[in-house]
Amino acid sequence: MRVGKFIVMQSEKLVFITDGMDKRIVLMTLLTIGHSFAASTCTDRRCLANMLIDRGLLSQPQDENCTLPVFVPFIEYQTLKVDTKNLRLISRLIAQIRWRDTALAWNTSVYQYDHVILPVGAVWTPEIKVTNGLLTTMKHCSNDLLVKSDGTVMHSVIINAQVNCEVNLFNYPFASDECPVAIQTYSIDDCGTSLVMGEIKMVDGSHGDWKTDFAVLQKQRDDRNFILVGLSIKHSNPFITLMLPSLLIIVADVVSFAMPLKGGERNTFKITLVLSFTMFINILNNELPGDGQCSPVIRIHFCVCLILLVLSMLVSMVLTRVAQDGWPSFSCCSKSSAPTNTETKKEKEDKAETNADISVVQLDTSEDSQMLRKVVTFLEALTAKEVESERHERFADKLDKIFFWFYFIFGGSYVCVMIGVMAKYKCAVNHFDFWY
């Protein structure tokens, strides 16, 4: 009886308490317990993702082996531009990467899913760089990545790189070369990450004057992976804009030997060719490739062409003088002796005329005979001058023909040799000097 009364009294007290201010506290406690129970029973994908995010796994996965293998099963390679002025290869790579982080694994009996999507910033991701890149940027293809139930993470990244590649431009505009794009991840003292490469595919291999012939994955040793990129120039455009105008100007200069030496038309034409070619070189100076270990031989070609044009112009001027006045003499003696010879010749003529006059007086010839003798003397001098002029012209014409054949043979041989060197000769460049 006493026990029953006690229970009844405690029940009345409890009813009284719940009717008071403490009723709210009891209700809030019950709500908190119910919410916790409901949270523990949430097993959808979002709850799984939140659970993995709450782990805060922002450091590299590390176990007994200090090196984490990062698998790159597929790379898409694209050449964006070949900067021949600064010797740069601008490339774009899209890489699929995969690694395993056991801390991201979950129990599939609780969360019955094999995959879940997480934000990129919520977990650790490897960084891929280009070893010989002057400027390398890595961007994520998406803000999310895929995680499997065993902790395998799958993601894709975009790598833009400006590679320091000293392209062999000796044969420009018939240049071709192979440039390495070295790929690496962070690693020091056998700790960090190591790349396990898969396959590569080249896309859109033609940009501007250059085309990508091939792109293959190779390695020098286990930790030195690189993409060997084969490049070749599409020679039609540079040949038309650079080589062809210079060759046509040389051909025009050779044909100009058909013009007569006298009159100055040939000299004027050759001067015009020299000035035109000089202006042509100045305009295309910014278009020519930059210098490197193998400087473009086309610069030497332009220099030789300009020398040939100037030499042809100077020879033409000298031969014009020879055709008119004979071979020029530049010595001081000849200049001083020329008036003396002239005066002596005049004195002889005056003396001959005086003797003629004396003889005329002695013979009592008429003034008509004296005038006739002067006319005959003038005509003889004119004829002698014409004969001398013809002799000078024949001599100049002979020299002109000799120089023409020399110019034609030398110019033709030079063009053939230069084109052969541009097309066949290979200049060796070490593209792996960044590894030491």
The string of pLDDT tens digits covering residues 306-336 is: 999 999 999 999 888 888 777 666 554 444 4
**Rounded Cα gap, residues 301 and 247, in angstroms:** 10
**Rounded Cα gap, residues 300 and 312, in angstroms:** 18
Find, among 324, 319, 317, 326, the residue nearest to 268 by Cα. Answer: 317
Which range is most confident: 36-50, 127-141, 161-175, 385-399? 127-141
Are 97 and 68 in contact by the 8 Å Cβ rule? The answer is: no
pLDDT at site 365: 54
Is the Cα torsion angle 397, 401, 403, 407 positive or negative in sign? positive
pLDDT at site 220: 83
The residues near 213 (Cβ < 8 Å, ≥ 6 apart) are: 176, 205, 230, 231, 232
Mean pLDDT of 113-134: 91
Are 132 and 187 in contact by the 8 Å Cβ rule? The answer is: no
Task: Provide the pairing of β-strand 224-233 with 176-185.
Answer: antiparallel
With both helix axes pointing from N to C terminus, report the angle between 265-283 and 297-325 in degrees, rounded to the nearest 10: 160
Mean pLDDT for the chain?
A: 80
* Fold classification of 56-234 (topology level): Acetylcholine Binding Protein; Chain: A, (2.70.170)
**Rounded Cα gap, residues 281 and 217, in angstroms:** 41
For residue 99, pLDDT over 90 is answered with yes
Q: Residue 180 burial (CB < 10 Å; 0-12/13-18/19+)?
A: buried
pLDDT at site 182: 92
pLDDT at site 273: 93
Least confident of 10-19, 226-235, 365-374: 10-19
pLDDT at site 344: 47
pLDDT at site 32: 53
Indicate the pTM of the whole model.
Answer: 0.69
**Rounded Cα gap, residues 386 and 393, in angstroms:** 10
Find, among 122, 102, 14, the residue nearest to 62 by Cα. Answer: 102
Are 176 and 233 in contact by the 8 Å Cβ rule? The answer is: yes
- Secondary element (H or E) of residue 199: strand 191-202
Task: Determine what percent of the chain is predicted with pLDDT higher than 90.
Answer: 30
For residue 170, pLDDT over 80 is answered with yes
For residue 340, pLDDT over 60 is answered with no
Summarised one tens digit per residue, pLDDT across range 341-399 is 444 444 555 544 444 444 444 444 567 777 777 777 877 777 777 777 788 788 888 99
Q: What is the DSSP string of 130-161?
A: ETTEEEEEEEESSSEEEEETTSEEEEEEEEEE
Higher local confidence (pLDDT), 192 or 2: 192
Least confident of 172-181, 218-227, 361-370: 361-370
Gyration radius from the chain CA atoms:
48
For residue 118, pLDDT over 90 is answered with yes
Find, among 436, 377, 427, 433, the residue nearest to 168 by Cα. Answer: 427
Least confident of 27-36, 133-142, 158-167, 398-407: 27-36
